[in-house]
Structure 1
């Protein structure tokens, strides 16, 4: 109870309280302003851009992470060599084992538009006319960050889906094979029903984590160029710490929290429906 009170209840209550005040980091005194912060945040064009960027960042990251992680888990399950299977598994989980700061700095070094390894290689191979500016070109920067996030997050999906695949009864595959079912039919009618709840829960967790992701973007582009990669966490950080507007940053945080709660309710409704469908 003490842990819950200190780490969850107090911060949440204080954020809700400050969202209705004009509290700043410059002066100690503050007063209630009602919904003034919420109105100002929702009317801010930077909020709309940050929210749209966050939606794009989350959707494409999640879609590709699920696709790559799911495919990797299915491929790993088909490896029959007992010696190579754990080696493949370790190699595929390496990106997830690295700390975020190491990932951001290494990718920033490799994608550097002046002497980065990847732009230099692409230019020498004749695939680009000059040094590509992956982290400063408005048309490349967000897809580049999404790619880095996919590389980082797909192993986590792979490990969990691979673990779920171990719970699928093998006799059902054998029965389907005897009945003449194709590999696609076995996957669709045996594999998917057994692991869809696990994938649904992974989708919930990854949606929250990716939506709130701060470190990789901040350490790679810091929201640039010209705010092209400013997501909601960076927008809230700029309001609270750069501009010292704690009240307005708290209001933006509560708006983000409400959106994620609504999204999670939709996810959990779907997962509950799947569970009832399996029981029925």
Structure 2
């Protein structure tokens, strides 16, 4: 009877294991393997080259340009998403009427497919026929339509703004859910004691939700750093590599120059960096959890 139960469990789990194996385990280990070879998408044969791919990547200035762009992209986007999401969650938490309506309206950006968002913002920001540049000219704010997507500085700023607009609703929903778990009695006691809004937030609200916020930061850091679609669809990494991040750099290396071995080395370095960042994050979160048990 016990053996039958174990067999039944494995039968139900097997489809999930197969999917994980095909979509994650195999690509992961094949990338590591190919990073030590001169694998080329055009040539059928390849050979082991040791650390040559890593030496070539780490001596390429374009790699470090993409890396620092990824750092800026992640820090600015994550900071904006957390701040905006936090403010919206705290505001919604205080709303008494039409809370569900406001929550639904605010989560709309997260509900749209990335390709729809990318093409919509391309149309809005286009320097020739875009709605926003032409509106700025008509209002007399500028003599010429600003080149939002073709200027190096503006392109990066616009992408960060779009990513904040897109990702903040997810932060808002999760923090709002965490706020529901804070005991209402503590807020009432703080109000009786005459605590200020900042004191309530610092000593009651944040200690209860900081672990949730920490986990959100971990997930969003990995997600944003690995973000490919919205950048590629709007700017393609341009102009002049101003918005080139590591995922796009690896994609161009693999599918543009067909150097799959070198592209695999980029992805392995990306993985090592993110793994290190996650270890640091989890160390902080673990410390918070221990403090919460005291």
TM-score interval (norm. to shorter) = over 0.9
Residue 219 (structure 2) pairs with residue 205 (structure 1) = yes
Residue number among 41, 64, 68 corresponding to 1:25 in the alignment: 41
Superposed displacement of residue 92, structure 1: 0.1
Q: CA offsets per residue over residues 70-110 of structure 1, 9 Å max, x none?
A: 000000111111xx111100000000000000000000001
State how far apart, in whole Å, the 2-side matches of 1:128 and 1:114 are: 14
Which of structure 1's runs of 4+ aligned residues deviate more than 4 A? none
Superposed displacement of residue 60, structure 1: 0.3
Superposed displacement of residue 128, structure 1: 1.6
Superposed displacement of residue 169, structure 1: 0.4
Residue number among 101, 104, 110 corresponding to 1:90 in the alignment: 104
State how far apart, in whole Å, the 2-side matches of 1:31 and 1:183 are: 64
Unaligned runs of 5+ in 2: 1-16
2:7 matched to which residue of 1?
none
2:229 matched to which residue of 1?
215
1:278 matched to which residue of 2?
292
For the residue of structure 1 that corresponds to 2:238, the secondary structure is coil
Residue number among 93, 96, 100 corresponding to 1:80 in the alignment: 96
The answer to which of 180-189 and 252-261 deviates more is 180-189
State how far apart, in whole Å, the 1-side matches of 2:157 and 2:143 are: 20
Unaligned runs of 5+ in 1: none
2:63 matched to which residue of 1?
47
Residue number among 105, 121, 138 corresponding to 1:124 in the alignment: 138
Residue 196 (structure 2) pairs with residue 182 (structure 1) = yes
Residue 117 (structure 2) pairs with residue 103 (structure 1) = yes
For the residue of structure 2 that corresponds to 1:139, the secondary structure is helix
Residue number among 249, 254, 263 corresponding to 1:249 in the alignment: 263
For the residue of structure 2 that corresponds to 1:28, the secondary structure is coil
Superposed displacement of residue 3, structure 1: 2.9
Residue 11 (structure 2) pairs with residue 11 (structure 1) = no
State how far apart, in whole Å, the 1-side matches of 2:95 and 2:114 are: 30
State how far apart, in whole Å, the 2-side matches of 1:179 and 1:168 are: 18
What TM-score do the two structures reach when normalised by structure 1? 0.98
Residue number among 165, 180, 183 corresponding to 1:169 in the alignment: 183
2:249 matched to which residue of 1?
235
Q: CA offsets per residue over residues 37-96 of structure 1, 9 Å max, x none?
A: 000001001001000111101100000000000000000111111xx1111000000000
Superposed displacement of residue 33, structure 1: 0.3
Residue number among 82, 86, 103 corresponding to 1:70 in the alignment: 86
State how far apart, in whole Å, the 2-side matches of 1:139 and 1:11 are: 35
Q: CA offsets per residue over residues 101-141 of structure 1, 9 Å max, x none?
A: 00000000010100210001111112222100100011211
Superposed displacement of residue 182, structure 1: 1.3
Q: CA offsets per residue over residues 237-270 of structure 1, 9 Å max, x none?
A: 0000011000000000000000000000000000
